[in-house]
Structure 1
């Protein structure tokens, strides 16, 4: 078997159509059919049930697809990484989640360009989990995210923890209380906005719901750490929509402290007394390829932290072996 045969099979398995798969792969339908037939002949196994429409995979075909698709993804990743290692781009492509942009990222980029004027920087708004695939494909070289990831292809370092603040409508009875407690917020409608959830933990201390299911929504997880369950919740598509609803008096939410300059005419941001109610900021890149400009990015980050008096522990990515 060869890669052409495998890619042809993957296309048919995913699209369940010879014509659609031929269009995707740029092959003629007869060529696609020959590749698939040769693959089945080489393996001595029927992978595709051709007598149903749309096409179905046989039981063996489903098993083969599940296993081979992940292997081909790794092959593509290795090819992309090898190409970048051979000819590193002069540009530094940086992924970030939106909440980072409201914090120190603009200052970091300004410092980076000041210290290294020759660096071309491209910024891309992309979620924490999407950054994993973007790193592998080469769309980004490094990413700022809010979640830890377990991925053999990725290495990450924790930059710092950012305190959450509570966002309340200006007319809310607690809007002028300087230090808030989660228990006092539980009777409000909590607006949830995270599209990425925490990974399921096997740790016995992981907060559980009444049904003993792990709580993975980040804001609910924070409340659950104190044995609190909000009275009512509403889930929206992103952080900006959540703050819009708070401004309209439709509920409250928790946001990283860097966002407390947003919609200040309608929203009151107040501190929480709980020191461990924080949102981490991670920096991640590939395990086997570190863009040559990333050390300069880290230097810029730590320079800004020192200017702002932010506590941090200096770290660096491991060089590929």
Structure 2
């Protein structure tokens, strides 16, 4: 058993075709067939059913595929790290999600460059000693980007559970509601989610939360209690659709998940490609949306940003990097984040990467 045989098997299993796998691996079909046969002989089992179209894995083949795929991914990660150790990149490649870029990230980068320039040339006003490359990458894609070396560190809105990644929670950022200036509720300073249920909610997240398995008893109890409490409040004139049996454990769209925590479902939604488009639709009067508070300086001539009273309606900000291979400037980046937080009066808990 060798890497050639394993890679041939993975290609055939992924593409379910010898001809397609041959194009991907740049091997002839007879060569692929021979490598697969050698692997099956060494294992003493049949891995792929050759008489089914498209090709299908046998039960043993499915088990072997799942285990070997993980091993090969780990080997590729180790190879990339080893190559980077021998020829480290002097630039700091930072992955980010758009909501972080529109918030405090530019200020953090400026602080990092000033700090780096001050350490390298204390008597110089230059702030260009560290090269920073910014890359727009979704939260979950950042994990693979870290492993491949595409980025050295990433700002994301979601927690990751990966043995290769270490992650720091920077802070929880409160959401605010973004309404058109002409909206009847635009000048109300404190909002509840139930008060917003009659509006069209503009959804913009491209990454969804991981699905959870709900505890049926606890979810049902919480939903019943929330619905009863809301219905008893005679001052709320919500439509029947605003109180639905919605479990937050089963709703993976981030904004809808916030509503589902209170057993609320907005009467209508519109999904768009990114945050800027969402704010454009809000400005045009199409609907409302929720954004992290650091973004409430955008389109202020057309959009009114108002506070939500729910303290747990927040968006976390994480910073993550590799456990065993961290760029030497990552610690300076984290320090720059904390300097910006202190200057802004933002509450945080100081941490360090191991």
Partner of 1:100: 100
Q: Distance in 1 between matches of 2:270 and 2:350?
A: 39
Instruction: Show the counterpart of 2:269.
Output: 233
Which of 147, 155, 171 is the matching residue for 1:144?
155
Distance 1:50 1:162 in 2: 54
SS of corresponding position for 1:274: coil
Alpha carbons 2:245, 2:263 under 8 Å: kept = no
Alignment correspondent of 1:247: 283
Q: Secondary structure at the match of 2:76?
A: helix
How many residues are matched? Answer: 318
CA distance in 1, matches of 2:262, 2:246: 17
- 1:38 deviates by 0.7
Aligned residue in 2 for 1:59: 59
Q: What is residue 45 of structure 1 aligned with on the other side?
A: 45
Alpha-carbon distance in structure 2 between the residues aligned to 1:314 and 1:278: 19
* Cα deviation, residue 202, structure 1: 5.7
Over aligned residues, Cα RMSD in angstroms?
A: 2.1
* Whole-Å separation in 1 of the counterparts to 2:197 and 2:246: 19
Deviates more, 1:125-134 or 1:236-245: 236-245
> Which runs of structure 2 are paired with 1:113-192 in the superposition (5 Å)?
113-116=113-116, 117-192=128-203
TM-score normalised to structure 2 length: 0.83
Unaligned stretches of 5+ residues in structure 2: 117-127, 224-243
Aligned position for 2:7:
7
Q: Tell me if the contact between 2:246 and 2:265 (Cα under 8 Å) persists in the aligned partners.
A: no
Looking at structure 1, the residues matched to 186 and 18 of structure 2 have their Cα atoms a distance apart, in angstroms, of: 61
Aligned to 2:253: 217
TM-score (norm 1): 0.91
Deviation sequence 1:47-95 (CA, Å, 0-9, x none): 2222344333333222322221122111111222232234332111100
Distance (Å, rounded) in 2 between the aligned partners of 1:245 and 1:300 = 34
CA positional deviation for 1:211:
6.4
User: Partner of 1:276 in structure 2?
Assistant: 312
In structure 2, distance between residues paired with 1:98 and 1:30: 47
